[in-house]
Structures are given as structure tokens and as C-alpha cells.
Amino acid sequence: MRWKNTVLAVLVAAVSAGLWATPATAASVMAAPVAASPMPASAMPASVMAEEGDVTWTVRTASNSLGADRSSYSYAINPGATVSDAMVVANRGTDALSLTVYAADGFTTGEGGLDLRNRDVAQTGIGVWATAPAASVTVAPGQTVDVPFTVAVPANATPGDYVGGIVTSLTRPDASQQVNVERRLGIRIKLRVGGALAPALAVSDLSVSYDGSWNPFAGGTATVSYTIRNTGNTTLSATQAASVAGPFGWWRSDAGDIAAPPELLPGESWPVTVPVADVPAALLLTGTATLTPLVVDPSGSRSMLEPVSADATAWAVPWLLLLLILVLIALVVLALRLRRRRRAREDARVAKAVQEALAAK
């Protein structure tokens, strides 16, 4: 699921032992592009009715003074200000639908996509600031309804970027599985609260490990691991570079191209693990990670900041080579001792012969 997509389609199921349960777990997928072949309900775009899974409604942004044919909602609001907008809900089915309407905060998943927090989780941003006049809307078969909502930013809101969504939801029991299934369709909201912006990324928890080869003259693989942290108040991505260098920097191996992290919201983090191949076991290695932050504006434009970097060291001992060196040193020492002993015996033999010759005279 990528942020550039618009519609969130979520299936939520909660299992109970013989009793209907409230929704407790969620699996989310973004809407896929329109295709001629059938798609499951959770993968349908907003403009297409899903025949499977009883998802018979669609959502889209309203066309108004804020824009037409928008793929999502994007606002820049000062603290204390309010913006009003609407979402269009269309019932493509044959039965009337009563849908729950609510807002939720967004977050970056471990797979790098955007998801929305469940309703039973405390909301702190858009999930609190975006509200609809009613908690539900009824849509007759074949009809569309405009669902208005407002985004009211508190006067004491912290400047910066926020992401969330406005959601329509339908929960129905599934008797065959004895679960409640909640299906959600929503549209992303990107919000920038006016004020002083302080974009910043940090590299933390950097470590280096080394996995050498049995061949002392062949290189091994160094692994550089670190965490990217968005310590500022704007949405950020970054370009990445990692390298490993030997003592005193007399050689360096680069990791090559590294995939960009997802767009991280303020306060979020992203773990990175990068292998660097063909690294000689040079006793002491220094791993370095460098990030060039990319500021992501609500409009989608990006700008670069000054790079930030961190480094760490690790031992890379060529144990087999070290053992061979120790064996060689031991053989040299042994040879020198044997040579000294032979010389001492020869000197003793010569001295004895001289003494015996002198005595014979």
C-alpha cells in the first residue's frame, strides 16, 4: 500500500467463541488500478463496485472550490482555523446502506504503506480534528450522497504535517464464520499546520557486523544496520548511502543503490539493514550511513536538505590467516632454536678437539 494511492479498503474481523465480537483485528490493502478481470472487494478502486465481499459502495472526493477530480484531500491550515469539505458516497447495490462515518489518524506500516488506526485506539491528530455532522449516513440504492466534514485545527496545535483519513464503514455478521466483519472505504487526508517547520532526520542505533570467508584471502560480507528517525515536524523521505572502510580509511567498499524509505511522519522510524559485499577482513572496520532528507510538501513536491551521517566500528579478524601467521612464527622460532643448538654443539665439538690436540702435544 503506497501513499500515492487514494482509497483505503479495509477488512476487519473479530473472532468470538460462539458469540458475536467487536472488530479487533485489521488487514488493509490499497485500491488497485481498474482492471478488466474480476478483483476481490478489498482491491477495488473507488469508482468501481465490488461484487465480492458485499462492498457495494464507492467513495470519491467532492468537486468544489477546493478542487475537482482530486485523488485525495490536502490542506494547509493555520492553528485555530477550520476547513470544510465533502466526500461523495455512491451506493451501487440493490439495498439501502447505513454506513458509519468517522476519521482516523494515519501511520506507516512495517511494509512501508499507509494505514489508519482502529476506532478503539486513541486518536491525536486528524482522527480528532476531522468530524462529520452525523456519525452515520444512509444511501438509497443507486443514489449518491455528499457527506460533509470539517477539519478544525486547535489553536495550540503543533506546526507540521499530519496524515489520516475520512472513512465509511459497514459492519455485518458472518454466520458461517461466527465473526463480525467490518469493511471500510476511505480517502486520505494530508494536512500541514502552519507555523515554524523544522524538518530533520537522524541516524540512530548504527551497528556493523562481519561475516568472513574460510579463505583468508577472500573478502566477506559486512552488514550495516541502523534506524532512520523523523525527529522533525514534517513528512520526510531520504536517499541513502552506506559504506565500509578499513583502518585509516585506506580502502572503502560501498553498498550500492539502497531503496528509499517510505515517507515517514513526524516521530516515526524505519529500520534499515544493508549488506556490503567483498569486504576484506582488515581487523577493524568502520561502517558509515548517510541520509539526504527529502522534504515532502502536501502538494507532492520534494526538496533536499543537508546530508546527515553516523558511523560505527566492528572487528573483522581473519582468524584462519591469523592462525597461519602464528604457525609460521612458531616454525621460524623453532628453526632458530634448532640452529642455535646445532651451532652450540658444533662449537663444543670444535673446542673439545682443540683441547685434545693441545693435550697430545
C-alpha closest to that of 254 among 244, 246, 240: 244
The predicted structure's pLDDT at residue 152: 98
Q: Could you tell me which residue, 333 or 202, shows the higher pLDDT?
A: 202
pLDDT digits (tens, 9 = 90+) for 144-160: 999 999 999 999 999 99
Q: Give the percent of the chain with pLDDT over 70.
A: 79
CATH topology of domain 7-193: Immunoglobulin-like (2.60.40)
Task: Provide the residue type at 166 as one letter.
Answer: I
Q: Fold identical between 7-193 and 201-317?
A: yes
The predicted structure's pLDDT at residue 51: 33
pLDDT digits (tens, 9 = 90+) for 274-306: 999 988 888 889 999 999 999 877 666 778 999
The predicted structure's pLDDT at residue 346: 81
CATH topology of domain 201-317: Immunoglobulin-like (2.60.40)
The predicted structure's pLDDT at residue 322: 61
pLDDT digits (tens, 9 = 90+) for 160-188: 999 999 999 998 887 676 788 889 999 99
Q: Where are the domains of the chain?
A: 7-193, 201-317, 324-361
Q: What is the mean pLDDT of the chain?
A: 81
The predicted structure's pLDDT at residue 26: 31
The predicted structure's pLDDT at residue 250: 84
The predicted structure's pLDDT at residue 263: 93
The predicted structure's pLDDT at residue 296: 77
pLDDT digits (tens, 9 = 90+) for 25-71: 232 323 322 222 222 333 333 333 333 356 899 999 999 999 998 99
H helix intervals, 53-201 = 126-129
pLDDT digits (tens, 9 = 90+) for 201-224: 999 999 999 987 666 667 789 999
Residue 243: is its pLDDT beyond 60?
Answer: yes
What confidence tier does 232 reach under pLDDT thresholds 50, 70, 90?
A: very high
pLDDT digits (tens, 9 = 90+) for 127-141: 999 999 999 999 999
